Amino acid sequence: MTEALRLDRVTAGYAGIPAVRQLDLRLAQGEILALLGPNGAGKTTTLLTAAGVIRPMAGTVTAFGRPLRRRLEQNAHAGLVLVPDTRGVFHNLTVRENLALVRGWRAGLDRTLELFPALDPLMSRRCGQLSGGEQQMLAIAKALTGRPRVLLIDEMSMGLAPIAVRALLPSIRTLADRLGAGIVLVEQHIDLALSIADRAIVLHHGRVVLTGTAAELRADRHAVAEAYFGTS
């Protein structure tokens, strides 16, 4: 499989203070990597660094076999797309208007609605009148219209009821399988994340404390709990 994203010995943070240290990460096309860890572990910092929003203090980020470009939109054009945890949808606009903000949206619309058919009857509705789960679906749909090859998804279940998360997560698996997109998924619901991921990394205090296949981590909950709450 083609390597979609690669972080080598990356140290990154804010105002010269590292929030992640010496991080190695590999992501293949079509693969879902769950990025787990307690609050403040460095998950969002990792995603922002992978997307080129934060420049690493040390180490390298490589997407599709070449170093990240300096300008964010160049990386976005190459297919590296960040879905922020703030959802990135405009409440005063309708679903259609939100989708129309993305360049080339018409070409991708049919495919987007095929993947998220629940959005079709909502196209004329203002986003402020959507449920949290529907808004999240729209945020991912917006990212899809840009034809991503790598999706970096931050806490998409934030503020959602578990039942809404359970309904949404399988569509992420579909994106990886059908589009061949590589996906890094930051997720608080560990079991749900592991149920759709191929592999997982657990961060604690900015360092990788556990990695494995999703099946390995599902089978060893003790190791996962230790990685979350242990002192390592």
Q: At its nearest, how many Å lie between ligand ATP and the CB of residue 56?
A: 13
Q: Which stretch binds ligand ATP (CB under 6 A): 34-42, 143-151, 174-182, 211-219?
A: 34-42
Rounded CA-CA distance 167/183 in Å is 18
Size of the site for ligand ATP (CB under 6 A): 10
Q: Which stretch binds ligand ATP (CB under 6 A): 42-50, 105-113, 117-125, 215-223?
A: 42-50
Q: How far is the CB of 167 from ligand ATP (least distance, A)?
A: 22
Instruction: Please choose, out of 35-43, 116-124, 127-135, 215-223, the segment that lies near ligand ATP by the rule CB under 6 A.
Output: 35-43
Question: By C-alpha distance, which of 201, 207, 206, 205 is closest to 224?
Answer: 201
Could you tell me if 58 and 10 are in contact, meaning their C-beta atoms sit under 8 angstroms apart? yes
Annotate each residue in 72-111 with x if it binds ligand ATP (CB under 6 A) or - if it does not, as one string: ----------------------------------------
CA atoms of 208 and 190, how far apart (whole Å): 16
Give the SS3 label for residue 67. strand
37 touches ligand ATP (CB under 6 A): yes
Q: Is the dihedral of CA 19, 57, 50, 83 positive or negative?
A: positive
Which C-beta is closer to ligand ATP: that of 30 or that of 37? Answer: 37
Is 16 a binder of ligand ATP (CB under 6 A)? no
In b/e form, how buried is each residue of 187-203, taking b as 16+ CB within 10 angstroms? bbbbebbbebbbbbbbb
Cα 162 versus chain centre, distance? 18
User: Which residues contact ligand ATP by CB under 6 A?
Assistant: 14, 19, 37, 39-45
